[in-house]
Amino acid sequence: MFTGIIEELGSVAAFTPAAGGGAKLRIACKVVMSDVTPGASIAVNGVCLTAVDLYDDGFGADLAPETLQRSNLGDLRTGDVVNLERPVTPTTRLSGHIVQGHVDATGAVESITDLEGGNWELRVKVPAELDPYLVYKGSITIDGISLTIASLDDSVVKVAIIPHTWEATNLQSRQAGSRVNLECDVLAKHVAKLLGKLTL
């Protein structure tokens, strides 16, 4: 489980397609390696991956065909910047919200607007099937970042980006048309299933 509070910006050291439609991903990073062990989980742009290869300067992970189909990890190229987060421990403050690292779909950035003073407005077009799980002032994870929905109109989610989030994440590298990973609040999914409306 994660919180959506990004710990480090890593970079793609290598992306190698593998047999069967999967791929191997190597990430260069430092902070998240301080206590990692083989088989540990690390969220990359909000996708929970297993660190199967450990290096002095990063880790390697296998990407299943399902992961490539449902997320934007297949778009990664050498040098791309990615958001990284280690899983929570029982004593960690839950500063964001409950994030599983199980991406539901991808959305497309419609706009990123500079509001001055270091603040930004991000608008993302989301697939219609995610709409039942999104509410005003609810939580959504975009590329692994825990964000609050400021408005939801015609399948476009608007979120406010504060200066710290802008500086500490890879949102600076996004532009109109960029594909981003989306994860809805797991509590909303459970409520929807109880009500017989689950579509994911």
- Catalytic positions, written as ranges: 2, 41, 48, 50, 64, 102, 148
CA atoms of 81 and 78, how far apart (whole Å): 9
CB atoms within 10 A of CB 60: 18
Strand-pairing partners, residue 42, are: 49
- 56 in helix, strand or coil? coil
Tell me how far CA of residue 52 lies from CA of 58, 118, 192, in angstroms: 11, 38, 35
Cβ contacts of residue 73 below 8 Å, gap of 6+? 23, 25, 44, 45, 47, 63, 67, 181
Cβ contacts of residue 103 below 8 Å, gap of 6+? 46, 47, 67, 70, 71, 181, 182, 183
